[in-house]
Amino acid sequence: MYTVTQLARACGISRTALLYYESIGLMAAPPRSSGNYRRYGQKDLERLKQVLSFRHAGLKLDDIRILLDKPAGDAAAVLQRRLMEIDGEIAELRQHQQSILKLLKNKAMRRTKDMTKLKWVEIMQGSGFTDEQMNRWHMEFERAAPADHQEFLEYLQIGTAEIAQIREKSRKGF
């Protein structure tokens, strides 16, 4: 038997995330001990591992519920739809990347030292980028053109240590 904290740690997530999954019905409410503590069993551990496996694949929580609660359903259709969404997101990120590379190749843009990380983030946010999209953009930039990514980060006048941190996170997946 597992407590909330033990089960969460066993799966590498926060206690809060586990309780959230329970609150939205992805995890069943477990029985309680005489001290009113949640007591999860082996089936709960396996279910949570399934949830996390689907989350790692980028599935939305509603899609995960469908896959777990209706195993006879068309899991392939859900997964195929997510794969198509990911393809679209990658294409969008590549377009952003190409636009930025064109801007960087513009000699007038390169001469200015007024561009900073703060200004760039404001531009990206003003263009509708979320933090998650900016992180995915960095990941794709690092994967596709690591030297250009380094040069771009230097262009933004970011310090050496922070550049190393951004690039490491980009390689590992924020």
pLDDT in tens, 134-152: 998 999 899 899 999 999 9
Residue 114 falls inside a structural domain: yes
Please state whether the predicted TM-score (pTM) of the whole model is above 0.75: no
Q: At what angle do helices 42-56 and 61-69 cross, to 10 degrees?
A: 130
Co-location of 63 and 95 in the same domain: no
CA distance 8 to 101: 42
Domain of 142, in residue numbers: 91-172
Residue 110 has pLDDT above 70, yes or no: no
Mean pLDDT of 20-36: 93
Co-location of 100 and 62 in the same domain: no
**The pLDDT of residue 161:** 94
Co-location of 34 and 101 in the same domain: no
The residue out of 69, 99, 124 marking a domain boundary is: 69
Could you identify the residue written with the tokens 């926060």?
14
37, 24 Cβ separation under 8 angstroms: no
Co-location of 45 and 101 in the same domain: no
CA distance 99 to 136: 16
Our count of domains for the chain comes to 2
Residue 77 falls inside a structural domain: no
Co-location of 51 and 119 in the same domain: no
Q: How many residues does the chain have?
A: 174
The residue out of 69, 102, 121 marking a domain boundary is: 69
Write the CATH number for 37: 1.10.1660.10
CA distance 65 to 97: 34
Residue 27 falls inside a structural domain: yes
Residue 73 has pLDDT above 70, yes or no: no
Residue 32 φ/ψ, nearest 5 degrees: -115, 150
CA distance 37 to 64: 27
CA distance 43 to 49: 10
